[in-house]
Structures are given as C-alpha cells and as structure tokens.
Amino acid sequence: MTLLAVERMKLFTTRSPWWCAVLALAVTVGFAALMAGTASAESPITIAATQFGYGFGLMVVMVMAALAITTEYRFSTIRATFQAIPNRTAALLAKTTVVALLAAVIGEIAAFGSWGIATVIEPTADLAINTPFEWRAIAGIGAVYGFAAVIAVSVGVLVRHSAGAISVLLIWTSLLENLIMLIPRVGRDIHQWLPFNVAHQFVTGDPDPSARAIQDGPGLSDAVLSPWPALAYFAGFAVVLLVIALTVANKRDA
C-alpha cells in the first residue's frame, strides 16, 4: 500500500496526466457529440456510434502511461526510486498498477460521458443499454484502456525515452497493425491476432443482430476470437510484455 500511495502522489503531482486525461475525455466525448449532432432519421445515433472516438482517447491514454515512466528516466528520478526501493519489480509493478487504474477510470468516464452527451443531444434516440454487446461497447472501454496502459508502461521501461516510446506506441496502433495486412498471403492471418485488433474485437464484436448496424460506430475487427477471449488475449499480451520489461529493468543500470 505504501508503494501504491507513493506512485499515486508522484503521478498526480505532475501536469501531464491531468492534461492527457482532459484531452482524452474531450476527444472521445467530442466525437460522441458530433455523431449525435449529425444524426438523422435515416441514420440515427446508436450505442456503438457514441463510442466512435474511443480509439483516439486510447492513444492519448497510452501517451500518458508512457510519460509516467519515461519522465522518471529522463530526469533520473528513477535512480532515487530504485535506491529507496531496491526491489525494482515491486516499484515498477506499483507504478504500473496506479497508471492502469487511472487509465481504466478515464476510459469509463469517457465511455459513459460519450453516451451521456449523446443522450442529452438526442433525447428521443434509442440509447438504452440493454444487450451484452451494448454493455461491452461502453463499460468495456475501461478494461481496454487499463490493459493498454500496462502495454504503454512496459514499452516505456524498455525504451526509456519519451519520444521513442510514444513513437513506437502510436505508430504501432495507428499504422503498423493495418500495414501488416499488406503482406502477401499471410498478412490478414497475422492481423487477426495482433493485440489492438483483438482488443477492438472485445468492444465491437458479436453485436446483437436485432440492433442497428454496427458500421455506424467504430470499425469492425477481423479477429477470430469471441469478445471475452479477445479481452483475455489482450490482457495476456500486456502481462507478457510487462514481464519482459521487468526482467530487462532488473538486469540493466537505471
């Protein structure tokens, strides 16, 4: 508990988490307001459409998570941390836990905030949360944000430089996973198992066939796993990457 309290104070006494949280909420809720404002009788606002901007908020949250660790390496405060807490694994796990919990909270606030603003703008729209798909499409955002933050912290530990870690995360999520589909013969098969594509399946997969067309919301995933196994796969990827990062951090100089 002491380590968690220390990491919480370190995180909330810097400006970047606050700015990133505000930006993530503004982007996701802003897109929901835009979708609701441009809805029509022919194309009404739907539960999935309210979460159209969750991917943009995810990128901001991952930047926040990477900065939480890379700034310690940049200003060499990580050395003081490791001197005070010789158990590097415990120190880094505490930081990862605090950052992941914050990311999950931001995800939940962003998701329900997006749904709420759409409800206010289009009060007559059918935005009741009834089906398992609709609950995953909103409440599931927090879980995806949380595990994505674990991945971002792990990349930050491995790279140690803010610009490098952020570049790796953003290029991978927004570009490389899609470019892999261009590889002849095996590209699409590989893409089905890439982590963020699989995480997207948890949010968008297995829609209620009686509901509106899911194409009005975030794009569909081509992952072969069903939603809950997809979340477990994404979580497993995050844990494996974290274990690798902890192993490297314990073997090299701070």
Residues 184-205 have pLDDT tens digits of 989 999 999 999 999 999 998 8
CA nearest to 73, candidates 165, 173, 150, 151: 165
Please give the mean pLDDT across all residues of the chain.
90
Entry pTM = 0.93
Structure tokens at 124: 């007559």
Task: Taking residues 129-147, report their average pLDDT.
Answer: 93
What phi and psi, each to the nearest 5 degrees, are found at residue 199?
Answer: -60, -35
CA nearest to 45, candidates 203, 211, 227: 211
Is the distance from CB of 20 to CB of 59 less than 8 angstroms?
Answer: no
Taking CA 61 as the corner, what is the angle to CA 114 and CA 227, rounded to the nearest 5 degrees?
65
Report percent pLDDT > 90 for the chain. Answer: 60
pLDDT of 219 > 80? The answer is no
pLDDT tens-digit readout, 64-123: 999 999 999 888 888 888 888 888 999 999 999 999 999 999 999 999 999 999 999 998
Task: Taking residues 210-224, report their average pLDDT.
Answer: 68
Structure tokens at 208: 């209620």
CA distance 109 to 210: 27
Q: What is the pLDDT of residue 209?
A: 54
Q: Which sign, positive or negative, has the C-alpha torsion 121, 62, 17, 94? A: positive
- If pLDDT is split at 50, 70 and 90, which confidence band does 131 have? confident
pLDDT of 126 > 80? The answer is yes
pLDDT of 253 > 80? The answer is no
Domain of residue 245 covers 2-251
pLDDT of 135 > 90? The answer is yes
Q: What is the pLDDT of residue 254?
A: 63
Q: Other C-beta atoms within 10 Å of 226: how many?
A: 12
DSSP state of 209: T
Name the residue with higher pLDDT: 210 or 127: 127
CA nearest to 158, candidates 75, 166, 141: 166
CA nearest to 236, candidates 134, 132, 117, 151: 151
What is the domain count for the chain? 1
